């Protein structure tokens, strides 16, 4: 398989993984994602500002013919804003948690692919060494090459990283 074809396959797989995860969302998760994507916009901010300005304008008695229903200090507005903030925060957290789970799986896939790639590269280096030796080229004194042929332990690397993280 050519390198470009391999990369194309990996990209298609990653996209299809995201598509599969999106298609298996619950109705509530779809609603949370919709809400997060639409309410996290400048349009939503602008609508909120207009709504609050209108509310305050009416309730300060600045609009002739409209009786204030929530006079200063705007207790109903305060309650409404607080509830909106609570619901939006929960909805955003739901979407972020789902996105985080997908990112965790992608990260695990990346790790597995990196391990496979490292094994394949090591095998290629060994084959190149065999070809060089077959043609009478001695590479036994190449310390860097010897280091490249050493097996890398994912577990050892993970433990080292955990120790470094726990230090800080």
The C-alpha atoms of residue 163 and residue 108 are separated, in whole angstroms, by 20
Query: By percentage, how much of the chain surpasses pLDDT 90?
Result: 42
The C-alpha atoms of residue 115 and residue 123 are separated, in whole angstroms, by 12
Q: In this predicted model, what pLDDT tens digit does every residue of 15-72 receive, in sequence order?
A: 666 677 777 788 888 888 888 888 889 999 999 999 999 999 999 999 999 999 999 9
Instruction: Read off the pTM.
Output: 0.59
Q: Which of 62, 91, 56, 57 is nearest to 74 (CA)?
A: 56
Cβ atoms of residues 116 and 109 within 8 Å? no
């Amino acid at each position: 398989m050519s390198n470009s074809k391999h990369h194309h396959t990996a990209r298609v797989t990653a996209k299809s993984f995201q598509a599969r995860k999106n298609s298996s969302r619950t109705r509530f998760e779809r609603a949370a994602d919709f809400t997060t994507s639409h309410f996290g916009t400048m349009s939503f901010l602008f609508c909120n500002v207009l709504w609050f300005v209108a509310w305050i304008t009416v309730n300060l008695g600045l609009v002739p013919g409209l009786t204030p229903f929530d006079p200063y200090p705007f207790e109903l507005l305060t309650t409404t804003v607080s509830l909106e903030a609570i619901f939006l925060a929960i909805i955003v957290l739901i979407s972020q948690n789902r996105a985080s789970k997908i990112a965790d799986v992608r990260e695990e896939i990346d790790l597995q692919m990196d391990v496979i790639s490292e094994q394949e590269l090591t095998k290629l280096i060994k084959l190149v060494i065999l070809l060089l030796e077959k043609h009478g080229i001695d590479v036994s004194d190449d310390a860097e090459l010897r280091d490249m042929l050493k097996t890398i332990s994912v577990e050892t690397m993970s433990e080292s990283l955990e120790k470094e993280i726990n230090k800080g």
